């Protein structure tokens, strides 16, 4: 930096002759026109506002007026921001020839050149080589030039290419100097028409040889030994080991040329040439190009630390060897220098066709707008062709922000050679992926993070800090690059820019606020770019609304005879005319201008809309940003069509749909209007402007019509795009998604109901504060406030499910069109069981057989059965199942069965043939053997058929108990070895019983699943994992194909953690008396969740991507050993000693100690509801899920068929949910902060237990008040009565509607709400109590397995829809109390009515509530009085409940009187 100061000081005398600046002549006209046009805009907006407020009497007219007002307001705002460029445009000129008069060449400041590349296939290394050679050959002291190439793809191919370039440079640089060549890019030079000398031919042959070697290496994907010429090169290439991947590798820094040592063939020193591939890790964010540039900024500081830094894209080669001298003409100017951050050269492109059909030159962005910026604080940074003063990266002009180490400071002098050990060591350190942690890099110093458009954001922040820039626009282009030459690449590039600009626009550094406050008028220039995406609004409105109105004969513009017609004409012609004039004055042609405005419209209907959508999805956590490199590779056919100026539409992209829609709609609207004119129908004067607009759009859409109708080449518009322009389109045909029709009604109802809730709570608060004069009235009012506040909170969380519910549909039949069956990903199935008595082994066997028989390549399926009960019975059952599978699987395939659970298949009504009878006999025989073993309590010797089986059962010694035993892993089937009777391979089948110890915590089901995750990783490590409960058998053999329809979808795939199928249950009685289907939990809520980040994990029927268990989508958390990594390839057979040894090790009870299992990776610990908690944490980390709800249930399971089992199950869930609710990851705080609206969904589940408060209050308080003649609700004649009625009927009505619309009956809905009340008085109440006791250390939590065994008598009563109260459980006491109290309160009130005593109007709502509770309590009255079977309510419970109800009544009466 000191060298730069000395240089600028010595040239002070001549500084005025180095450059000149001249304002553009049209500036005054621009200002006058701006004033006039602003007046016209104001008149138009006033007209729109007047029309909207005074003349819009219908919904249609209001919508049209509002749309036009919004569209024209956006256009007005964008036009105003454009005028900031036109207030003071200037032209500059520099005189590099004068530099030699004021200073010597050896006093020039050092120059560090940064070249960025990221993908050797999209950005061919030979292109990078040409760019590097063109700047190495600058007319500049070579010893002062250092070229740093950042390879963010970490490719050995790029390093090889640069090694070849280093050798070639020793010939090329002296050749350029000797022949005074202007084009110093070898490829461009040799392609131009030159008269070759023998020397030129020789150099050309050397270059062609280099090109051939590099091309061959890229084609083969490896560096052949024949190309490695030294041990130094071999040592460099050896860094690319097996574990070296693009996204995970150490730093590689290779000094290819050192200016103090390496010389060319004439003896002159060569520039420094350094290859840099910064460290990458899946656990660290690398900030795309901005991160790469900051790594180069630090690495170069340690090696050369030149005061001038030139940034270049890998394809932007130098076209003028004097370019750095031109930059020096400004950097050395004392009038500019103190605050100068950078000198920006325009981006220019080679190979652009005559009329630039894709507007790839971006003439406004790269040439016209910078002239206007240059009269203010200077042009924006455009990402390439920029000479920076290194000091500008370290604070504002007056405040220097020192980097964390002095070696990175811009004024630090590098004293050692760049190959010295200390320099290289420091360079590797500062290129590390964790180096920037806890530093100012990217936030206050260096290139700035926070946007995909890092160039725009960096320049913006530097201008805000007080720096300025200069636009250097010489006659000969300084740089030439490659522009997209197909439409889709252009649109994707602009979509990325749109997302990046939105990230800045909606940040705390928004140009419209922070920018204008910091820079005034310059802030408006940045605002213009920042709000590019808003162009999508007016373009969409004017592409569709007037045309739809025209088709319906509706006039929305002024008539030709009205004055406003001329206002519209002036506004249109004025805006377009000014743009055209600027274009032509800066050397553009009409053809290029026309295509520029056409592409602006196309981008408005594609890039900007899709960019805005993707940004919103990411902001909601549904998607994640990525940085896609624009390809520099061009196909010959595509290139030929481009040269012929034919648009390229070959790919069936959804981005083509809106523009095709516009083309078709405008064609039909114009045609219809034209027919109206011919037939003399319609108001021609009124529709004239709409006709004109449709015609204008049609002319712009000519390439689209051509691509639909007139073309047959590969670049024509795909028929799929054309045929779907009138409806929504998905990226693939594998799945579709459709919002529910009732969504809008849900949102309107939510708004109304919310107002009603606030009214009620306000009434309660007023009553509590002003009218509660006694302790009794205060207690009643407070109870009602608390109860209704809880209900209001829970209702508000419920609405989060109703804001964006969707229905999905998948098309598994289309998978074969996308991929071959043998290319399907592997599938690991985890089945969990824990007790052979409560979960009979035959049920587990049937579940396993149903998934082993999937319509899926069997060699890709591995079934792992976790037996947490450590039972020899379960192992025996699976040994039998393995033998039976060899007959069952081919039988299923041959018969094309849908029910592949043997028990379900044989229980159904089938017409048997002899083969079926034979299979059934085999199954029944197996079933008898298994059940006999379970019944006898031991594996009988006669059933052990081999030494291998005996050896397995010998592990069950006397010391082997359920809570304390070693690991048992038994491979029962091996897919590479075992075949069925038809010769096809069978799936892997593995029995796992993890090690248990009384001294170790085993974390219940979550611990078992994590063991399965590790054991399976050592054996098969399939990328897809299916988790299943032991009773949840598969009911559809196509289920994994349905899951693949989502996993394979590129729009969903990257962030998809799992595909969740609903839990469905067999054997449910007609009206589902226990609400065992959990319709809302398993079907209704997931539909709502699916419109956000996806359904919560339900514990079974979920297909996971294994990667989801190891960190968030962008940050991979590596397990402690590489064999457990999701991308580890298992090469040995699963029965090999090494595999089995490792599997036993990872299943050990102490294996997880000091690891991240259960906390950051795998299924999560910390709650009894491990499914809820795991799904919740995955969603918080940025993953999403999908709800797959096919017409045929994918899985069927067993639900509790007696009330107590159901209540105990819910009590366990309650405790688990409370563990999450009161943890540091509480959904109401951490969840909402991480996921927004999705956090409210999880809060709804988490606060389920709080329902016990309002249910308890409303089950007892109004009834006790009724018995004591106390009125607590409004009278029938009061307005608040109708508020209560609306709130009750509204909530219940919406629930009922949801139920019915999803195919359920009134009976099922009624029982669902009844069970909700019962759970509020039992499961939630007892669960909350048990949680509190555990928190106080008085009790301990346990995991009770829900029994799958059903008693015959109990089953009979269940089928008759009779409630089961047989066990004398304390959980029956509160509901019996409520039943008794409500019966007596209602009876007392009824007697009062008969006698004409009491305030009937005041007590009506209490009577109604008691009656409603009574109706719900009918099964309890029946169980107390009318029944004599074993399922009746025990007398003990009745007596206790009656006594407690009396005690409650007595207490209430004492307080009242």
Binding residues for Mn(2+): 1005, 1029
Please enumerate, by residue number, every residue annotated as part of a binding site for UDP-alpha-D-glucose: 838-839, 868
d(C-alpha 427, C-alpha 431), whole Å: 6
d(C-alpha 444, C-alpha 380), whole Å: 18
DSSP assigned state of 280:
B
- CA nearest 206: which of 229, 190, 223, 183? 190
Residues paired with residue 468 on neighbouring β-strands, in sequence order: 340
As to burial, measured by CB atoms within 10 angstroms (0-12 exposed, 13-18 middle, 19+ buried), residue 581 is middle
Q: Is 1399 a catalytic residue?
A: no
d(C-alpha 227, C-alpha 215), whole Å: 12
Count CB neighbours of 818 within 10 A: 14
Q: H or E element: which one contains 1318?
A: helix 1306-1321
- Three-state SS annotation for 807-827: EEEECHHHHHHHCCHHHCCCE
**Beta strand pairing call for 1056-1060 and 272-277:** unpaired
Catalytic residue among 868, 903, 980, 1036: 868
Q: How far is CA 693 from CA 541, 700, 708, 1115, in A?
A: 12, 11, 22, 50
d(C-alpha 993, C-alpha 831), whole Å: 12
Q: H or E element: which one contains 242?
A: none
Q: Is 1171 a catalytic residue?
A: yes
Count CB neighbours of 458 within 10 A: 29
DSSP of 669-686 = HHHHHHHHHHTT-S-HHH
Helix pair 1137-1146, 1004-1019: axis angle to 10 deg: 160
d(C-alpha 1180, C-alpha 1225), whole Å: 9
Helix pair 536-551, 684-700: axis angle to 10 deg: 130
Torsion sign, CA atoms 411, 412, 416, 418: negative
d(C-alpha 212, C-alpha 206), whole Å: 10
Please enumerate, by residue number, every residue annotated as part of a binding site: 838-839, 868, 1005, 1029
The first and second tokens of residue 829, run together, are 């199935």
Q: H or E element: which one contains 806?
A: strand 806-810
- Rounded to the nearest angstrom, the gap between the alpha carbon of residue 533 and the centroid of all alpha carbons in its chain is 21
DSSP assigned state of 733:
S
3-state secondary structure of 1251: helix
Residues paired with residue 91 on neighbouring β-strands, in sequence order: 22
d(C-alpha 298, C-alpha 408), whole Å: 6
Q: How far is CA 450 from CA 101, 505, 506, 888, in A?
A: 44, 11, 11, 58
d(C-alpha 272, C-alpha 286), whole Å: 26
Which residue matches tokens 């939105």?
502
**Beta strand pairing call for 827-833 and 861-867:** parallel
Which distant-in-sequence residues (6+ apart) come within 8 Å of 740 by Cβ? 805, 806, 807, 1087
Q: Are 1204 and 1042 in contact (CB under 8 A)?
A: no
Catalytic residue among 356, 1171, 1198, 1312: 1171
d(C-alpha 249, C-alpha 238), whole Å: 13
For the chain, the first-to-last Cα distance in angstroms comes to 91
3-state secondary structure of 293: helix
d(C-alpha 168, C-alpha 133), whole Å: 9
Helix pair 1400-1416, 1372-1395: axis angle to 10 deg: 140
d(C-alpha 1308, C-alpha 1079), whole Å: 9
Q: What is the dihedral of CA 1157, 1161, 1164, 1165, to 10 degrees?
A: 20
Residues labelled catalytic: 868, 1171
């Amino acid at each position: 930096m000191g060298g730069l100061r000395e240089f600028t000081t010595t040239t002070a005398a001549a500084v005025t002759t180095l450059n000149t600046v001249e304002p553009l002549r049209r500036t005054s006209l621009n200002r006058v026109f701006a004033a006039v046009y602003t007046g016209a805009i104001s008149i138009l907006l006033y007209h729109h506002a007047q029309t909207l407020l005074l003349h819009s009497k219908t919904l249609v007219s209001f919508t049209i007026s509002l749309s036009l007002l919004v569209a024209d307001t956006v256009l007005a705002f964008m036009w105003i921001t454009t005028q900031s460029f036109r207030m003071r445009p200037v032209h500059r000129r520099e005189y590099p020839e004068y530099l030699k008069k004021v200073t010597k060449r050896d006093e020039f400041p050092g120059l560090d050149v940064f070249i960025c590349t990221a993908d050797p296939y999209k950005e061919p290394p030979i292109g990078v080589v040409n760019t590097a050679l063109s700047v190495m050959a600058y007319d500049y002291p070579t010893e002062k030039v250092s070229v740093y190439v950042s390879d963010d793809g970490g490719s050995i191919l790029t390093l090889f290419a640069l090694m070849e370039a280093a050798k070639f440079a020793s010939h090329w640089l002296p050749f350029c100097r000797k022949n005074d060549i202007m084009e110093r890019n070898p490829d461009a030079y040799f392609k131009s028409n030159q008269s070759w000398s023998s020397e030129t031919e020789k150099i050309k042959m050397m270059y062609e040889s280099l090109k051939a070697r590099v091309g061959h290496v890229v084609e083969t994907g490896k560096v052949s030994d024949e190309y490695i010429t030294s041990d130094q090169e071999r040592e460099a290439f050896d860094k690319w080991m097996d574990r070296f991947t693009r996204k995970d590798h150490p730093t590689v820094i290779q000094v290819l040329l050192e200016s103090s040592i390496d010389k060319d063939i004439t003896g002159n020193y060569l520039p420094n040439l350094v290859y840099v591939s910064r460290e990458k890790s899946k656990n660290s964010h690398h900030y795309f190009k901005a991160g790469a540039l900051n790594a180069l900024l630090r690495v170069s500081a340690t090696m050369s630390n030149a005061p001038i830094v030139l940034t270049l894209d890998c394809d932007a080669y130098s076209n003028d060897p004097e370019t750095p001298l031109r930059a020096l003409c400004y950097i050395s100017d004392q009038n500019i220098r103190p605050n100068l951050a950078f000198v920006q050269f325009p981006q220019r492109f080679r190979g652009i066709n005559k009329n630039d059909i894709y507007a790839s030159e971006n003439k406004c962005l790269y040439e016209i707008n910078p002239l206007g910026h240059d009269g203010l604080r200077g042009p924006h940074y455009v990402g390439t062709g920029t000479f920076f003063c290194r000091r500008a990266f370290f604070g504002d002009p007056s405040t220097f922000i020192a980097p964390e180490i002095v070696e990175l400071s811009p004024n630090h002098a590098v004293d050692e050679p760049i190959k010295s050990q200390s320099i290289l060591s420091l360079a590797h350190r500062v290129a590390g992926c964790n180096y920037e942690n806890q530093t100012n890099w990217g936030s206050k110093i260096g290139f700035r993070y926070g946007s995909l458009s890092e160039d725009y954001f960096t320049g913006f922040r530097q201008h805000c800090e007080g720096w300025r820039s200069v636009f250097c626009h010489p006659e000969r282009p300084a740089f030439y690059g490659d522009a997209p030459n197909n439409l889709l690449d252009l649109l994707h590039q602009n979509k990325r820019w749109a997302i990046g600009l939105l990230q800045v626009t909606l940040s705390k550094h928004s140009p419209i606020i922070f920018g204008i406050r910091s820079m005034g008028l310059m802030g408006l220039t940045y605002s213009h770019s920042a709000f590019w995406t808003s162009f999508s609004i007016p373009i969409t409105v004017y592409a569709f609304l007037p045309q739809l109105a025209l088709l319906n004969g509706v006039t929305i513009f002024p008539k030709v005879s009205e004055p406003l017609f001329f206002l519209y004409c002036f506004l249109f012609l004025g805006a377009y005319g000014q743009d055209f004039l600027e274009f032509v004055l800066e050397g553009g042609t009409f053809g290029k201008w026309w295509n520029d405005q056409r592409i602006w419209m196309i981008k408005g209907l594609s890039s900007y809309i899709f960019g805005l959508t993707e940004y919103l999805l990411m902001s909601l956590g549904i998607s994640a940003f990525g940085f896609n490199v624009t390809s520099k590779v061009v196909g010959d056919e595509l290139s030929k069509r481009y040269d012929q100026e034919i648009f390229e539409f070959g790919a069936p992209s959804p981005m083509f749909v809106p523009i095709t829609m516009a083309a078709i709609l405008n064609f039909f609207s114009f045609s219809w209007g034209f027919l109206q004119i011919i037939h003399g129908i319609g108001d021609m004067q009124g529709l004239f402007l709409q006709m004109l607009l449709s015609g204008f759009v049609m002319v712009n859409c000519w390439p689209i019509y051509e691509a639909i109708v007139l073309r047959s080449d590969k670049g024509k518009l795909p028929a799929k795009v054309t045929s779907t322009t009138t409806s929504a389109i998905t990226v693939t045909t594998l799945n579709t998604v459709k919002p529910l029709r009732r969504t809008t009604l849900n949102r309107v109802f939510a708004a109304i109901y919310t107002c009603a809730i606030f009214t009620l709570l306000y009434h309660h608060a007023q009553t509590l504060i002003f009218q509660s004069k006694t302790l009794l009235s205060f207690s009643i009012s407070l109870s009602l406030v608390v109860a209704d506040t809880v209900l209001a909170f829970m209702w508000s969380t419920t609405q989060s499910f109703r804001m964006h519910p969707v229905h999905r549909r998948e098309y598994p039949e289309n998978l074969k069109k996308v991929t071959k069956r043998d290319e399907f990903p592997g599938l690991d199935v985890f089945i969990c069981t824990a007790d052979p008595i409560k979960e009979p082994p035959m049920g587990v066997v049937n579940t396993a057989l149903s998934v082993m028989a999937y319509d899926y390549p069997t060699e890709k399926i591995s079934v792992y059965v976790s037996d947490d009960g450590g039972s020899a019975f379960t192992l025996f059952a699976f040994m039998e199942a393995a033998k039976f599978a060899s007959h069952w699987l081919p039988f299923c395939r041959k018969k094309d069965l849908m029910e592949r659970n043997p028990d379900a298949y044989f229980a159904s009504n089938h017409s048997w043939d002899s083969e079926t009878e034979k299979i059934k006999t085999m199954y029944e025989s197996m079933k008898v053997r298994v059940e006999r073993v379970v019944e006898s309590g031991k594996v009988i010797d006669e059933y052990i058929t081999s030494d291998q089986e005996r050896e397995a059962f010998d592990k069950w010694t006397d010391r082997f108990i359920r809570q304390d035993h070693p690991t048992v892993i038994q491979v029962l089937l091996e897919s590479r070895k075992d075949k069925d009777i038809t010769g096809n391979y069978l799936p892997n089948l593995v029995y796992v019983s993890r090690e248990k110890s009384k001294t170790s915590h085993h974390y219940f089901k979550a611990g078992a699943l994590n063991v399965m995750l590790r054991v399976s990783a050592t054996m098969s490590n399939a990328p897809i994992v299916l988790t299943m409960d032991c009773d949840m058998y598969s009911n559809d053999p196509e289920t994994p194909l349905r899951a693949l329809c989502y996993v394979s979808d590129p729009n969903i795939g990257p962030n998809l953690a799992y595909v969740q199928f609903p839990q469905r249950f067999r054997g449910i009685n007609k009206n589902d008396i226990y609400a065992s289907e959990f319709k809302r939990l398993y079907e209704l809520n997931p539909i709502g969740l699916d419109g956000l980040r996806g359904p919560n994990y339900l514990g079974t029927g979920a297909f996971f991507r294994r990667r989801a268990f190891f960190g968030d989508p962008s940050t991979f958390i590596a397990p402690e050993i590489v064999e457990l990594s999701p991308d580890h390839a298992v090469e040995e057979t699963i029965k090999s000693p090494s595999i089995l040894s490792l599997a036993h090790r990872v299943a050990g009870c102490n294996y997880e100690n000091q690891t991240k299992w259960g906390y950051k990776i795998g299924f999560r610990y910390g709650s009894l509801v491990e499914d809820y908690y795991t799904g919740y944490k995955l969603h918080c980390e940025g993953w999403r899920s999908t709800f797959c709800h096919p017409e045929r249930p994918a899985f069927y399971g067993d639900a509790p068929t007696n009330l107590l089992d159901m209540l105990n199950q819910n009590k366990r869930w309650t405790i688990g949910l409370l563990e999450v609710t009161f943890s540091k990851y509480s959904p109401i705080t951490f969840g909402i902060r991480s996921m927004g609206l999705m956090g409210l969904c999880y809060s709804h589940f988490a606060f389920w237990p709080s329902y016990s408060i309002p249910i308890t209050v409303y089950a007892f308080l109004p009834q006790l008040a009724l018995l004591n003649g106390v009125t607590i609700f409004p009278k029938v004649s009061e307005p608040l009565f109708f508020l209560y009625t609306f709130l009750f009927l509204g909530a219940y009505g919406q629930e009922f509607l949801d139920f019915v619309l999803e195919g359920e009956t009134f009976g099922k809905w009624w029982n669902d709400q009844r069970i909700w009340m019962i759970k509020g008085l039992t499961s939630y109440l007892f669960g909350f109590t048990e949680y509190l006791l555990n928190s106080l250390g008085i009790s301990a939590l346990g995991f009770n397995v829900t029994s799958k065994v059903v008693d015959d008598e109990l089953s009979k009563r269940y089928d008759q829809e009779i409630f089961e109260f047989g066990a004398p459980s304390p959980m029956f006491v509160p509901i019996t109390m409520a039943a008794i109290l409500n019966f007596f309160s209602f009876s007392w009130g009824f007697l009062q009515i008969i006698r004409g005593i009491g305030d009937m109007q005041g007590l009506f709502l209490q009577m109604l509530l008691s009656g409603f509770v009574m109706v719900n309590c009918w099964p309890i009255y029946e169980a107390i009085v009318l029944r004599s079977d074993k399922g009746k309510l025990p007398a003990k419970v009745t007596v206790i409940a009656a006594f407690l109800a009396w005690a409650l009544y007595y207490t209430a009466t004492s307080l009242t009187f």
